[in-house]
Amino acid sequence: MTVRDAMNVLGARVLVGEENLDREVRSACGSDMMSDVLAFSKDHSILLTGLCNPQVIRTAEMLDIVCIIFVRGKKPDNTILEMAKERDLVVLETGHRMFSSCGMLYAAGLHGGAI
Amino acid sequence: MADVIALTYEISPDDFTRAGEASSDVKSKLKQVGVSPAAIRKVAIAMYEGEINMVIHAEGGKITVEISPTEIKMILADKGPGIPDIEQAMQAGWSTAPDEVRSLGFGAGMGLPNMKKYTDEMNIETTLGVGTTITMVVKI
Ligand SMILES: Nc1ncnc2c1ncn2[C@@H]1O[C@H](COP(=O)(O)OP(=O)(O)OP(=O)(O)O)[C@@H](O)[C@H]1O
Ligand SMILES: [Mg+2]
């Protein structure tokens, strides 16, 4: 699916990267612990998280993640959004909680990928 | 050996939000010299985990990265408290991080196992009260 598809599934809002919504995504990972995320390294991935600090952007950068989705209405500040822009990331925000967000994307065909 | 590029970074312990800047810089330099994306990702993840550890568990330190035509070597040296039991520290899930660090998204006890997983060689030298030096190699 594309980032746009994921956005529609979650009724999410774009905060950064409007121009990159047609990028392809093939797997996703959801966690508030960045080292758990760093253990996961797949191409064309989405990161779902409820953590809201600059290290989320750095973690995404190290993993070449395509799109970050902040769940349960987390509002990243301007510093975080600027960092995301510089790194050419898409940032979305959804009011759904982590469990529901992951479930909705999974049901729509986006999986975690083999371990 | 010919063509070795050496980069050094002082890692400050004072500002957690800036932790990872060195790894970010290394990542873009490796891209410039044309290292493969797969190798770059391994280096970036391993170094970032190490850099974060230097900030949260030690009092910062110094990172040296040597880029040769065949491998990338990272040397992370800190003057922190040292690691009492390396075997235990290497176990997935072992962490001494306080709640305050956990609320920042770290302290899952996955950093050292990740560093091992993404590198071809990893060596830890540590002395209690003196510091820790971690050397990692990624072949390219
Ligand atoms: N540079 C260091 N100096 C002193 N102790 C360290 C250092 N690096 C790691 N440790 C010790 O080893 C433990 C395990 O480190 P590891 O990176 O695997 O997990 P963590 O940093 O606690 O959590 P995570 O990496 O998942 O965020 C740490 O909790 C800490 O006690
Ligand atoms: Mg760690």
ipTM of predicted complex: 0.94
pTM of the predicted protein model: 0.96
Task: Please list the residues that pair with B127 across neighbouring strands.
Answer: B131
Residue A112: inside a domain, yes or no? no
pLDDT tens for A11-67 read 999 999 999 999 999 999 999 999 999 998 888 999 999 999 999 999 999 999 999
The Cα–Cα gap between B18 and B20 comes to: 6
- Residues of A within 8 A of B37 (CB-CB) are 64
Q: How many structural domains does chain A have?
A: 1
pLDDT tens for B33-91 read 999 999 999 999 999 999 999 999 999 999 999 999 999 999 999 999 999 999 999 99
- What is the model's pLDDT at position B138? 98
- Residues of B within 8 A of A68 (CB-CB) are none
Ligand at shortest distance from the CA of A33: 1
Answer yes or no: do B45 and A62 touch at CB < 8 A: yes
User: Which domain range does residue A36 map to?
Assistant: 3-107
Residue A50: inside a domain, yes or no? yes
Neighbours of B60 (CB within 10 A): 18
**Helix (H, G, I), strand (E, B), or coil: what is residue B40?**
helix
**What are the Cα distances from residue B1, in Å, to B26, B29, B34, B66, B71?**
21, 20, 19, 11, 11
Q: How many structural domains does chain B have?
A: 1
Residue A55: name the closest of B131, B53, B30 by CA. B53
Specify the CATH number for the domain of residue B29: 3.30.565.10
Residue A83: inside a domain, yes or no? yes
The answer to whether A58 contacts chain B (CB < 8 Å) is: yes
Specify the CATH number for the domain of residue A28: 3.40.1390.20
- What is the model's pLDDT at position A115? 55
